[in-house]
Every structure is written in structure tokens, then in C-alpha cells.
Amino acid sequence: MGSDDTRQGETPVALITGASSGIGAATADRLAGAGWRLLLSGTDPDRLAEVADRTGGKALPQDLSTPDGPRLLADAALAATGQVDVLVASAGLGWRGPFVQTPPDAVDRMLEVNLGAPLRLARELLPGMLARRHGRIVLLGSMAGQVGVRDETAYAATKAGLAMFAESLWYELRGTGVDVRIVLPGPVDTPFFARRGTPYQRERPRPVSAGKVADSVVATITTRRDRVFVPAWLAGPARIHGLAPGAFRRLADRFG
């Protein structure tokens, strides 16, 4: 973490979910370069093993779409290193199409992976962080959770819930030495869209690289920045939506 709260002589430990590709893998590369010990979780054992070999991390494959998955992952992480200083919850699932056509199992999986798993992992790991009086919970939100997105209704709802979890937990953790951060990207050039079955089709905003988002994740760990939009200009539309949602909807209808 930052120089103000890294304990001298200790190598910090980060647990990264969704680490087999995309933002999670890019974040692992960044933190490995900075000398962190890494615990890497994902559902693709082969790709996860490649990231672990590249970064010197320990692979902990786990399916977070099951209610027991987060607890099993937390137990494995603590058994491997004794403590987790930073949780980077970057695993996520999406689905695009009208809400009435969204398969019920897709809704369930998004609720578990995008919202349930970060909450459950935080619940498992926070006691140790609070006892040591240092730690970070870093959540990967989405612009969709700030303003809503047509045909991504369930996904947007899970990310909105994650944003309110971050906001509420921020108040609880003040003065404890443990902090919560949220990174709010727009579309990102990762396998996310291929896995959801529909490519990204909007003209704007243009997708950013996973590495750019990973840089922001690291910034929230090593600085006091606790809410970061990627790219930064997306903070503007989010503010307009908050101040004047009617005007924002009119603009969204006009410009897509």
C-alpha cells in the first residue's frame, strides 16, 4: 500500500479475483512489478496458471457464482499467506438484451459474482484487516451502475448495488486504518464482451485498455484516491445524472 501505511519489513499480500484475464490479470502484472505477493483467483485454471507463472503469484481457482465460493476462497487465501492486505474484487459477468429476455440463471450468476461475492469476501477478510488496522477493499464497479444502460439492466443493477456497498462501508471504516475504494470504468477492451455473447456495439464511449483500468486500481491502493472514473471524463456524465437525471435521460436518448 502507500508509504504511510505499509508496515516496514513486510511484503504486502493482494488477493485478486477475476485474475485469469482482463483487468484482474493486468492488475496482477502491475502489483507483481511492485514486489507484491499475489493470490490469484479465477475460473479458467489454464489461463490462471499462466498469470501465476508470469507474476510469481499463487493460483487459487474458485467459482464465485456459488454462495460458498467466496468463503472457500477466503479460507484458501488465509491458509496460504496468513493475511490479506488488499482485496481486488475484479471478477464480473454481464448479459446484454431486454430484461424480459434475460435468462433467470444469468440474473442469478450476475447477482452472485458481481455483488454477492465482493460482499462475502469483504465480510470474510475485514476482521483480519481491522485487527491489524490496515488494509484495502478495492471494488470494480462500472459506469453502468452510475447512470444505467439500456439492455444491461440486471448488470447495471448489480454494479449500482456495489457502489452503494462501497459508499456505506466507507463511512463504517473511517478511522480504522482500513479503506474501501471503487473504480468505475466505462467499457473495457477485455474478453468480458465475448463471454457475455454480445460484442460492444456503441460508438461511445470507446473501450479503454485493461491496463489503463489496472493503473487506476493500483492508484487507489497506493494513494488516497477512493473513487476513480476510467476514463476520467466519465465523472462529468455521472455528475449530470446525479444533479439532473431528467436532463441526462434526454441527452442519452438523443446521443445514445
Catalytic residue annotation: 155
Q: For 115, which DSSP code?
A: I
Strands 135-140 and 208-209: unpaired
CA 129 to chain centre: 19
d(CA 235, CA 28): 26
DSSP secondary structure string for all residues of 162-206: HHHHHHHHHHHHTTTTEEEEEEEES-EESTHHHHHTS----SSSP
In angstroms, how far is CA 105 from the centroid of its own chain?
21
What is the distance between the alpha carbons of residues 16 and 179, in angstroms, rounded to a whole number? 16
Q: Are 238 and 143 in contact (CB under 8 A)?
A: yes
3-state helix, strand, coil in the chain (%, to 5): 50, 15, 35
